[in-house]
Structure 1
Amino acid sequence: MTREATFSARIGAPVGVSDMADRAVFAEELGFDQVWTGNDVFGTPGLVQLAAIAMRTSRIRFGSGVMDPVTIHPAQIAQYASGLQDLSDGRFLLGLGAGSEVFFSWAGITPDKPVVRTREAVVAIKELVAGRCPAGVPGAGGGWTAKAVLKDPRPTPVYVGALGPKMIEMTGRYADGALPLCLPPTHVFNVMRQLDVGAARAGRSVDELDVAACVWVSIDDDRDKARRLMAHHIAEYSGSLSTDALLANDLDPEEFARTQALMNDGQVEDAIDSVTDDMMRLGIVGGVSDVIDQCGALITAGARHISFGPPMGPNGFEALKILGEDVLPELRRLL
């Protein structure tokens, strides 16, 4: 089975609900196949943005990138997913993830192990949106009773935002799609191998999954401006990246720890300045040709879903426009 190529935009940004819906409409007009928004605790109101996107768009599929089962109970996530499916005539994609330990710490939350809590949520939610009860289902976790059934379930594809190898393997075993942060972009091929192991354990093929090569892109003709923006983004997430994934790509976790320490102390500019050229390999920085060359290499090597993510560029709308008008047509020609 060969999947059709998919191009998506992860449009999460610190903007309001109406502005986020405007971005989704614009992405739809530009020909993107999917858009994904954020839902980090203390971040923008992702659930409200998703509802606005459902009501303002007509073709494009849209997803949560990602909800976590720590601050939102899996039963509620299943309810929200079913509601968004109803509202959008079946265009919603449920993205789940473990969530950020850094963000949880701001609320004094100490959750269970990330792979376990995410696996239990995936299994339970898939049962619930299919109209079944997760009680007694292997992998769904304990505590469910026979009354744990949704009143209006709507089948929904479940994706997992994965970083480390154990989470990726679990995704291959249980999920419908994968949203691995491919940092650096070529990490997608390591991810595919890890997904294949999990899929094989479930008696299926990795080709059955929609695997997005989620890359960070900062596109602008002014390379210095694009680089600074990417460095800021890397600094913000330096403490949330998988140590195993960093090591697998010959990146030094201690460099990221130093940057996170500066961010924790409120020394944002120093943290940005501390991002090295090696750390910058996590994303794609530059103009149109830079993005086409690097994403084109991924497609040529077999990637079927390229997902462009923040920071996108100094101007979010302009970056989306450049990607849609100048980059996507060239990448589609490679298929």
Structure 2
Amino acid sequence: MSEQTNTDTDTGNGTDTDTDTPWAIELTPEHPTERIADLAALAEDQGFGVAFTSSHYFNRDPFVALSRIAAATDELRLGPGVSNPYETHPVKLAAQTATIDELSGGRAVFGVGAGDRSSLANLGIERDRPLRRVLETFDVARDLWDGETVTHEGTFTAKDAALNLEPVSDIPVYVGAQGPHMLRMSAKHADGVLINAAHPADLEWAADELERGLEERPDERGPFESLAFASVSVAGDESDAREAARPPVAFIAGGAADPVLERHDIDREAASAVSNALERGDLNEAFGRVTPEMIDAFCIAGTTETVADRFEAALEHVDGIVVGSPLGPDLEDAIERASEALANATRRVEGE
């Protein structure tokens, strides 16, 4: 587990809980932005400290959703989770995030990653040199947020670029990561990592990779925070929760690397069938091809008690958890159940 320190860049948790374990939530703007804002307000009431909005071209605009969340909440930190620097130019991403920081009174966080390969393929975008692209994106963003004029030639180009606004606060950078190189890079350069995993075996492996990156982390970077960006589906009925898990599991399984599939003994052909359906844009077929083994490997799904047990196992390897979508068949109920499960799990881990 990486070093856990409560600082101004820490995602923290809400005021309703007495714990050092960061609680976060992902809200997917597949729903109207007004509902997303209401869900964020509920999450804040339930003790969550940060809300990420997922960024996919087929959903509502994440930054519009974030503006609504900012208006509906008081202390909740918020940001894209995760934006990618292929669909949107990195300088534009920096401006959008700075706008959210201004609008929220200094509560923004910047979640950035390489993006979903299948979604980018739908747009004819090649995800080339993802490690460099992500690193260069947040390096340039930090310079822009510091008020600098930037000229950059690398995986993207910016010439004499500057922003007409400055963030209210120092915006922490959280890198969405799954592979070894992105994990190590995040530990070396970012403020935190959003590990695209839910299973303890994957999180344990990721923690080892992060430790390798932390060995090369400059002291001036300050503390680092590891969060499991875990797909979660929780409900009163186990089968209902597992059925609601199919959409996010499809995207995870469809993009999973061979070593990940092998770790969970998932058939490569079955995962490829999911991936191919996603690239064709046939979401119903992709969701239907999700197997029980994929749900077990890539989602924390079940009743409140089951989810609490899985949270506890995850927290052996990370500093905190992002409760990712779909959350469950009933979103309001799922947020309350997820809060209860996190409270139970963190009490056990912290020895209360």
Give the TM-score taking structure 2 as reference length.
Answer: 0.85
- In structure 2, the partner of 1:191 is 206
- State how 1:39-78 maps to structure 2 within 5 Å: 39-78=55-94
Q: Which residue of the other structure, out of 320, 323, 329, is the alignment partner of 2:335?
A: 320
- In structure 1, the partner of 2:9 is none
CA distance in 1, matches of 2:109, 2:281: 36
- In structure 2, the partner of 1:227 is 242
Q: Which residue of the other structure, out of 237, 240, 250, is the alignment partner of 2:255?
A: 240
CA offsets per residue over residues 177-233 of structure 1, 9 Å max, x none? 111111424422222221222232233499821211111111122222222222343
SS state at 1:330 partner? helix
Comparing 309-318 with 204-213, greater Cα deviation is found at: 204-213
Paired residue type of 1:329: A
Comparing 124-133 with 196-205, greater Cα deviation is found at: 196-205
**Cα 1:60–1:304 shift into 2, 3 Å:** same
Comparing 26-35 with 219-228, greater Cα deviation is found at: 219-228
Report if aligned partners of 1:122, 1:174 keep a CA contact under 8 Å in 2: no
- In structure 2, the partner of 1:152 is 165
CA offsets per residue over residues 275-300 of structure 1, 9 Å max, x none? 3332122112211110111111233x
CA distance in 1, matches of 2:156, 2:230: 36
Does the alignment pair 1:180 with 2:195?
Answer: yes
CA distance in 2, matches of 1:140, 1:169: 20
**Cα 1:149–1:206 shift into 2, 3 Å:** closer
SS state at 1:213 partner? strand
- In structure 2, the partner of 1:2 is 4
Does the alignment pair 1:100 with 2:116?
Answer: yes
- In structure 2, the partner of 1:19 is 35
CA distance in 2, matches of 1:207, 1:290: 35
- In structure 1, the partner of 2:11 is none
CA offsets per residue over residues 59-117 of structure 1, 9 Å max, x none? 11112111111111111111111111111121111101111221122222224222221
Q: Offset of 1:329 from its aligned partner?
A: 2.7
**Cα 1:278–1:205 shift into 2, 3 Å:** farther
Q: Which residue of the other structure, out of 286, 307, 325, is the alignment partner of 1:291?
A: 307
CA distance in 1, matches of 2:313, 2:258: 26
Report if aligned partners of 1:228, 1:272 keep a CA contact under 8 Å in 2: no
CA offsets per residue over residues 301-330 of structure 1, 9 Å max, x none? 253211111111111111112222x32332
SS state at 1:31 partner? coil
**Cα 1:254–1:34 shift into 2, 3 Å:** same
> In the comparison of the two structures, how many residue pairs are matched?
330
Report if aligned partners of 1:165, 1:194 keep a CA contact under 8 Å in 2: yes
Does the alignment pair 1:126 with 2:126?
Answer: no
Report if aligned partners of 2:231, 2:249 keep a CA contact under 8 Å in 1: no
Paired residue type of 2:47: G
SS state at 2:245 partner? helix
Report if aligned partners of 2:207, 2:318 keep a CA contact under 8 Å in 1: no
CA offsets per residue over residues 34-75 of structure 1, 9 Å max, x none? 111111122221110011111221111112111111111111
Identity in percent: 26
Q: What is the CA RMSD across the aligned residues, in angstroms?
A: 2.5
CA distance in 2, matches of 1:65, 1:153: 21
Q: Which residue of the other structure, out of 83, 87, 100, is the alignment partner of 1:84?
A: 100
SS state at 1:292 partner? helix
Report if aligned partners of 1:213, 1:307 keep a CA contact under 8 Å in 2: yes
Report if aligned partners of 1:13, 1:310 keep a CA contact under 8 Å in 2: no
CA distance in 1, matches of 2:106, 2:338: 26
Report if aligned partners of 2:111, 2:173 keep a CA contact under 8 Å in 1: yes
SS state at 1:62 partner? strand
Report if aligned partners of 1:165, 1:244 keep a CA contact under 8 Å in 2: no
CA offsets per residue over residues 227-274 of structure 1, 9 Å max, x none? 222234322443233444334454443321122334556765654443
CA distance in 1, matches of 2:195, 2:95: 25
- In structure 2, the partner of 1:217 is 232
SS state at 1:159 partner? strand
CA distance in 2, matches of 1:216, 1:142: 31
CA distance in 2, matches of 1:173, 1:220: 38
SS state at 2:253 partner? coil
CA distance in 2, matches of 1:265, 1:63: 29
